[in-house]
Chains A and B, each alone.
Chain A
Amino acid sequence: MSMRFSWARLWAVVLKEFIQMRRDRLTFAMMVGVPIIQLTLFGFAINTDPKHLPLAVVSAEHSPYARSLVRALENSGYFAAVAQPFTVAEADALVARGQVQFVLHIPEDFARKLLRGERPVVLLEADAADPAATSNALAALSQLQTSALAADLTGPLARLAPLPGPFELRLQRRYNPEGITQYNIVPGLMGVILTMTMIMMTSLGMTRELERGTMENLLAMPVQPLEVMVGKIAPYIGVGYVQVTVILLAARYVFGVPMLGSLALLLACVLVFILANLTVGITFSSLARTQTQAIQMSFFFFLPSILLSGFMFPYRGMPLWAQYLGEVLPLTHFLRIVRGILLKGNGWAEVWPHLWPLLLFMAAVLGLGLKRFRRTLD
């Protein structure tokens, strides 16, 4: 093949793809509709800090101290006392059925032992089957020990109040002091939505030509693999930016996500990320023989992207091998870039370590795609 790359032929393919994309109304509507639906759905639905978890209180006495303890739990925001079973067996049944998440056992001589300074034992049982659902509530407990009875232990009882520790620990939650899930999820959704639509749409590109029989015509004409591949993905860059615009506007005006960094830098990084995903899609498209295969490949890539990138679960919580796997995925790096720019106000210097892996990924995948591009019908 002694033919040079031609901008005119590339333009021909871009025009053709653009017209075809525009004619496919349903797909076009989905490309704009999907980000809006997913953003509203997940943006409002996902909450990694669940509150008002149902609590059953098994109390053998009704002293003001016991009541203070329950009130303190409720005031933390994490617990809501919904049941007062009389027996332990009843409480166990409630946990087993999932009707309550926690059971608080207050012993019968709680008040007496408390006043005698005998440090009565209070048991809190948690349904810890889902660690994420209970961990924040349980973390809030440690504070309660010192503060729960503060109002009751005054005057002569002040001697029972806990002593302050030998040093004071101050906690500062930076970038998201209130722990608002959306600040983390909404920028992440931008990456997830782009990954899904970009890969899915382009993965159908070549297989559609193959299934409709137009591939034979295309191959019989003097057009180069690189021209076809680049031409097929180019219109989707525009689609990607439409999605990003929709998501950024919603992030700002619906979810109130802070935007501390440079918008220009973000949009530049978005371009690299979009291109990385488009090359994955078009490469799947040259590997697959049918559109069904192409969709299957897309999902094969999409699931680890969601689960191992740090979008859903903390990246540092994964074993090292999984982290290495995550490092390969473009979404992992993009999440760090987008969260960094929006929430931390990161600049070029902080972004670059996550940008070059994207560029490397893109070059490698494009190379594979070109190598596997069908030049013949063999």
Chain B
Amino acid sequence: MNAAGEPLIEVTELTKRFGDQVVVDRLTMSVGAGEIFGFLGPNGSGKTTSIRMLCGLLTPDGGRGRCLGYDIRTESAAIKRQVGYMTQRFSFWEDLSIRENLEFVARLYGMKERRRLVDEALERLGLAERQQQLVGALSGGWKQRLALAACLLHRPRLLLLDEPTAGVDPKARRDFWDEIHRLAAAGIAILVSTHYMDEAERCTRLAYIAYGRLLAQGTPDELIAASGLTTWALEGPDSAALAAELRRLPAAEQVVAFGHTLYVSGADGAALATQLAPWLARPGVRGERRSTRLEDVFIHLMGQAPDNFR
């Protein structure tokens, strides 16, 4: 653990089944105060299910866990009062106005000085003038900002964000992540699930889960180092044909094109260097070693994951 203090989330062997399908398989992890913990994994890997178990929306079938010091099985009522949960699908009331939604949330949490609190939240959001507008009429980006504001209204110690930036434009995403960092600096622990690699890189720690299993955990640098991947960047004429040829190399696990540049990576660095040598010697082909990116690591991990869905 690289975060100070007692962990806010600590789960051991957490398991959830839907029918005979294991959706979350013996998940063990911990999140400390001030951390931005990234939860990564492909669709259907069990991210949402794990988050729902943490805040008491689903009952685990196995394992145990504590969230904010409360047992996730028996004390979910206490957890709910101190956790802000932003659902993957927008889940505020579209037939209520912005202000009515915030007021409703503030009332449910029994917040004192409700009016001032909601006024402040509207001011921060920049929605003070549009507070009477129905939420259903808001754009995706505004809905997301409203959802975050509503989750923060009761001053939670822990934020659970389930793919908060899905379908939001790049500018709004950047603003959102700036806000996340401000909140983390203020001491709120944040667990955020995402698909986006640029977002993963902004987390202090990451967990990668696929098919319900935790495959790797650590800081972005640790994960890159632990993957043991070597990456080369190649450029040359007719990159499509070049890519097809490189894919046949046994040591080249991934060949990805970015513009005219091909990124080739593999776990066995020496073998990869040897096998690439003939192509690097070709006229017009330029190549050099590059640092491995997080995305390569995750695609590598996914390829290794025992796939129980196929």
| A-to-B contact residues, CB < 8 Å | 1-3, 6, 8-9, 11-12, 15-16, 19-20, 23-24, 212-217, 219-223, 376-378
Question: Would you call B90 and A213 a contact (CB within 8 A)?
Answer: yes
CB contact between A1 and one of B77, B87, B95, B107 (< 8 Å): that residue? B77
Question: Given A221-B80, A222-B81, does the pair A16, B87 have CB atoms closer than 8 Å?
Answer: no
Question: Would you call B95 and A217 a contact (CB within 8 A)?
Answer: no
Q: How far is the CA of A214 from the CA of B136 in the complex (A)?
A: 13
CB contact between B95 and one of A20, A377, A378 (< 8 Å): that residue? A20
Give 22 CB contacts A-B under 8 Å: A1-B76, A2-B75, A8-B110, A9-B107, A9-B110, A12-B104, A15-B104, A16-B104, A23-B134, A213-B89, A213-B90, A214-B91, A216-B52, A219-B57, A220-B55, A220-B57, A220-B85, A222-B81, A222-B108, A376-B57, A377-B57, A377-B58
Question: Given A19-B100, A20-B95, does the pair A11, B107 have CB atoms closer than 8 Å?
Answer: yes
Answer yes or no: B168 CB below 8 A from chain A CBs: no
Q: How far is the CA of A23 from the CA of B52 in the complex (A)?
A: 31
CB contact between A213 and one of B76, B91, B95 (< 8 Å): that residue? B91
Question: Would you call B80 and A378 a contact (CB within 8 A)?
Answer: no
CB contact between B93 and one of A1, A20, A219, A221 (< 8 Å): that residue? A20
Answer yes or no: B302 CB below 8 A from chain A CBs: no
By Cβ-Cβ distance, the 9 closest A-B pairs, closest first, are A12-B107, A217-B91, A220-B85, A222-B80, A213-B89, A3-B77, A222-B81, A221-B108, A213-B91
Q: How far is the CA of A16 from the CA of B77 in the complex (A)?
A: 22
Question: Would you call A19 and B96 a contact (CB within 8 A)?
Answer: yes
Question: A-B pairs with CB below 8 Å: how many?
Answer: 77
Residue of A nearest to B105 (CB): A221
| Min CB–CB distance A219 → chain B (angstroms) | 6
Question: Would you call B80 and A220 a contact (CB within 8 A)?
Answer: yes
Residue of A nearest to B96 (CB): A19
CB contact between A23 and one of B56, B76, B87, B95 (< 8 Å): that residue? B95
Q: Is the interface of B mostly helix, strand, loop or mixed?
A: loop
Question: Would you call A223 and B57 a contact (CB within 8 A)?
Answer: no
Contacts of A15 in B (CB 8 A): 104, 107
Q: How far is the CA of A213 from the CA of B92 in the complex (A)?
A: 8
Question: Would you call A9 and B77 a contact (CB within 8 A)?
Answer: no
| B-to-A contact residues, CB < 8 Å | 52, 55-59, 75-78, 80-81, 83, 85, 87, 89-96, 100, 104-105, 107-110, 134
Contacts of A24 in B (CB 8 A): 95
| Additional A-B contacts beyond A12-B107, A19-B100 (18; CB < 8 A) | A1-B77, A6-B110, A8-B110, A12-B108, A15-B107, A16-B96, A19-B95, A19-B96, A23-B95, A213-B89, A214-B92, A215-B91, A219-B57, A221-B108, A221-B109, A222-B81, A376-B59, A377-B57
Q: How far is the CA of A110 from the CA of B64 in the complex (A)?
A: 99
Contacts of A221 in B (CB 8 A): 80, 105, 108-109
Q: Is the interface of A mostly helix, strand, loop or mixed?
A: helix
| Min CB–CB distance B110 → chain A (angstroms) | 6
Contacts of A8 in B (CB 8 A): 107, 110
Residue of B nearest to A21 (CB): B95
Question: Given A216-B87, A217-B87, A223-B108, does the pair A2, B55 have CB atoms closer than 8 Å?
Answer: no
Question: Would you call A213 and B87 a contact (CB within 8 A)?
Answer: yes
Contacts of A213 in B (CB 8 A): 87, 89-91
Q: How far is the CA of A216 from the CA of B59 in the complex (A)?
A: 14
| Min CB–CB distance A297 → chain B (angstroms) | 24
Question: Would you call B94 and A378 a contact (CB within 8 A)?
Answer: no
Residue of A nearest to B78 (CB): A2
Contacts of A214 in B (CB 8 A): 91-93
Q: How far is the CA of A377 from the CA of B60 in the complex (A)?
A: 12
Residue of B nearest to A9 (CB): B108
Question: Given A3-B77, A24-B95, A222-B77, does the pair A216, B108 have CB atoms closer than 8 Å?
Answer: no
Contacts of B134 in A (CB 8 A): 23
Residue of B nearest to A220 (CB): B85
| Min CB–CB distance B159 → chain A (angstroms) | 12
Question: Given A9-B107, A378-B59, does the pair A16, B100 have CB atoms closer than 8 Å?
Answer: yes
| Min CB–CB distance A92 → chain B (angstroms) | 64
Question: Would you call A212 and B87 a contact (CB within 8 A)?
Answer: no
Residue of A nearest to B100 (CB): A19
Residue of B nearest to A11 (CB): B107
Q: How far is the CA of A89 from the CA of B174 in the complex (A)?
A: 93
Q: How far is the CA of A217 from the CA of B83 in the complex (A)?
A: 12
Contacts of B109 in A (CB 8 A): 221-222
Residue of B nearest to A24 (CB): B95
Residue of A nearest to B83 (CB): A220
Contacts of A20 in B (CB 8 A): 93, 95-96
Contacts of B85 in A (CB 8 A): 217, 220
Contacts of B56 in A (CB 8 A): 220, 376
